[in-house]
Amino acid sequence: MGVVIAVSGLPAAGKGEFADILAQNGIPVRSMGDMVRAEVKMRGLKEEPHIFGEVATKLREEHGEDVLANRLVSSVDLLLEENRIVLIEGLRGTAEREVFSNHWGENLQVVAIIASKEIRFQRVQSRARSEDGDLADLEVRDIREIGWGLDKIIRDSDVKFTNESNLDDFKEEVSSWLKSL
């Protein structure tokens, strides 16, 4: 069996950049955030910063804290049939980590991307995604995701990358780690 890497981190820490680096190395990526964005579209809701968090929260309330993980497992298993490594981008909750740990056991590796609130807010301002807003919106997202257990996931991760310098340094550090797998 291959390795499943699940990357976590607070909003705008660099999970997407991490996913891009792995994708450029031929590793398939499945995004939990994309699952929420698709749910927002399916429900016909206007894409505003607070909507994405509300939909993610409602999904968890309606179907359990592990809903996104349970929906994702089979597609990752299919990818593992033809790939040595698969990345899950956006692990945010301890219930999700539990599903992944129970399913893949020692073949799961949790990675945390860490960046200060100031750096993350600068990134939010520059990327202008529909789920991003002002500093207050970022703080609300932080509190919500910490409430799902993200702080525990980051603390207990197998690998941590600090992403506070430039993108080239981050790419070099991640690429070097990837070669060691």
pLDDT of residue 131: 65
Q: Indicate yes or no: pTM above 0.85.
A: yes
In order of their start, the domains of the chain are: 3-174 (3.40.50.300)
On the question of pLDDT at 157 being above 90, the answer is: yes
- pLDDT digit string (tens) for 7-24? 999 999 999 999 999 999
Written as one string, the DSSP assignment of 69-105 is HHHHHHHHHHHHTT-SEEEEEEE--HHHHHHHHHHHG
Q: What is the pLDDT of residues 103-142, one digit of tens each?
A: 999 999 999 999 999 999 988 888 766 666 778 888 988 9
**Tell me: the pLDDT tens digits for 72-106?**
999 999 999 999 999 999 999 999 999 999 999 99
CA separation for the pair 179, 158 (Å, rounded): 16
